[in-house]
Structure 1
Amino acid sequence: WCPGLHPEQCGQQGIVVLGLNRSHAKNALSKNLVKMMSKAVDSLKSDKKVRTVVFRSEVPGIFCAGADLKERAKMHSSEVSSFVSRARATINELANLPVPTIAAIDGTALGGGLELALACDIRVAASSAKMGLVETKLAIIPGAGGTQRLPRTIGVSLAKELIFSARIVDGEEAKSIGLISHVVEQNEAGDAAYRRALALAREFLPQGPVAMRVAKLAINQGMEVDLVTGLAIEEACYAQTIPTKDRIEGLLAFKEKRPPRYKGE
């Protein structure tokens, strides 16, 4: 993998860690980094061995500072539009991964950095972490999904308040408003959120892989429609689990009082 994004196995089969490592620029989203992210995410789409993806920073004290403003200042306006479209598409690809995704926010996540985290299914942050969609300070708006995912996460009125004010919140406040699922005290190594994210990922591993994928699909699609349509989506997704070998294995394991051995089939 190219510098800037390092997929790795974290010592646990099925868990893949994507680590931002652009330390000289606080993991700011450059053209090259977005390109590398897109390649990394694309490689995970059809990999049946991947069960959960954890997104973290390898740079202490920073998750992602947002767009690379030094690079942005050198762009023509047409280049800016193209870059933002590419970044939005890449973050959408992350959101649409078929397996659970967890953002481990051990430092600052601003602008596009928070939009990256919002595209993950679950967010974990250190209490000292700083998060915010600060684009209005630069006379622009969040352009990689922030105006859509933040209100879906914390509610319309509060999302408007945070975007209009460009306010930055810490981990404790982020937890209180529902922006993150878990807040942890930072440790000496500076990776408390990452460790909590790995613990969550390990909770997901024993479950049926097919079930996990269609459960995510049912939730994601169902949240965009009315209840009646959502229930129909759930029914269609449930039907996909019935003919699987894993379903039979789950019943046998229950009968034999042993842990199931799922293969994603």
Structure 2
Amino acid sequence: MTDTPEPAVAWHVATPGVLVVTLQRPRANALGLPIIEGLTEALDSASARGDIKVVIVSSSLPGFFAAGADIKHMATVDATSFTAYGDALRGVLDRLAGDTWIAIAAIDGLALGGGLELAMACHLRVAGNGARLGLPEVSLGLIPGAGGTQRLPRLVGRGRALGMMLTARQVPADEALTMGLVDRLVPEGTALEAALQLADTLLEMSLPAQSAVIRCVDAAFDTSLEDGFRFEVAQEQRLFEEGEAKEGITAFLEKRPPKFS
């Protein structure tokens, strides 16, 4: 009797409103088609439920968040298949980065190449103090092609982003915190626990308002300052008319916690 191998990705509702997605593809969570398909199914599940406000991406493999793209797979494909692989990876990361939920990366161990691109697609990153992060694609004659060249400069600035990508340097967790690549630094092995605690805080807020914050911050990088101001005003007005602002304001005046949906 042959044991059925574990799926590359597992997910479960940890607490109401919080979906934990666990990468578990030995030996290093290479982001091949099994993980891409697993992430897609996990996000499909979150969308179908309709009550997920926070998605946490974590790993069950000691020493690894995700070590990069699937190099063995890339070595066997032609140009057309390489394009399809890249499109599939970019598609699931862009979906994770949207405004349907707040995504948190819980990083313990190595987050390299596509693994770091996965973490950067999340809105927030919690890292154990033993984590190391990097984009080593130039050592393979490639570039970070799943959003890395665009997301990294927005997080750490042009100079630091170039310094990391041009040299393929791995950044230790404490430096990543200093440069803004990660948002919280915690003891090694506790990134998931800390991400769950952060999720509890996020759940207390209004998701429509949080989603509007994401849209406005993204617009700050894509529009002029004047257009950004106009976009912000439109988002604020929409929240007042259609969002949860009425409940938030009423709760404040009544000195009680708001009851957001």
Fold-level match, TM-score > 0.5? yes
Is the aligned partner of 1:18 residue 2:16?
A: no
Identify if the C-alpha distance between structure 1 residues 145 and 245 changes in structure 2 by more than 3 Å, giving closer, same or farther.
Answer: closer
Q: Comparing 141-150 with 66-75, which one deviates more in the overlay?
A: 66-75
Q: 1:129 deviation in Å?
A: 0.6
Q: 1:43 deviation in Å?
A: 4.0
Once residues 221 and 41 of structure 1 are traced to their aligned partners in structure 2, the CA distance between those partners, rounded to angstroms, is 24
Once residues 44 and 150 of structure 2 are traced to their aligned partners in structure 1, the CA distance between those partners, rounded to angstroms, is 23
Query: Which ranges in structure 2 are unaligned for 5 or more consecutive residues?
Result: 1-5
Q: Percent sequence identity over matched residues?
A: 36
Q: TM-score, normalised by structure 2?
A: 0.92
SS in structure 2 opposite 1:25?
Answer: coil
Letter in 1 for 2:238: Q
Once residues 246 and 178 of structure 1 are traced to their aligned partners in structure 2, the CA distance between those partners, rounded to angstroms, is 30
Identify if the C-alpha distance between structure 1 residues 245 and 93 changes in structure 2 by more than 3 Å, giving closer, same or farther.
Answer: closer
Query: Which ranges in structure 1 are unaligned for 5 or more consecutive residues?
Result: none
Q: Deviation above 3 Å: which 4+ runs of structure 1?
A: 42-48
Once residues 240 and 49 of structure 2 are traced to their aligned partners in structure 1, the CA distance between those partners, rounded to angstroms, is 22
Is the aligned partner of 1:198 residue 2:196?
A: yes
Q: Is the 8 A contact 1:42 1:93 kept in 2?
A: no
- What corresponds to 1:101 in structure 2? 103
Give runs of aligned pairs for residues 230-245 of structure 1, distance below 5 A. Answer: 230-244=228-242
CA displacement, residues 70-110 of structure 1 (integer Å, 9 cap, x when unaligned): 22222223312221122112211111142221111011111
Q: Comparing 163-172 with 35-44, which one deviates more in the overlay?
A: 35-44
Once residues 157 and 244 of structure 2 are traced to their aligned partners in structure 1, the CA distance between those partners, rounded to angstroms, is 37
Letter in 1 for 2:23: L
- What corresponds to 2:3 in structure 1? none
- What corresponds to 1:136 in structure 2? 138
Is the aligned partner of 1:258 residue 2:256?
A: yes
Q: Is the 8 A contact 1:6 1:19 kept in 2?
A: yes
Aligned residues: 256
- What corresponds to 1:220 in structure 2? 218
Once residues 129 and 232 of structure 1 are traced to their aligned partners in structure 2, the CA distance between those partners, rounded to angstroms, is 40
Q: 1:243 deviation in Å?
A: 2.5
Aligned Cα root-mean-square deviation (Å): 1.7
Q: Is the 8 A contact 1:98 1:216 kept in 2?
A: no
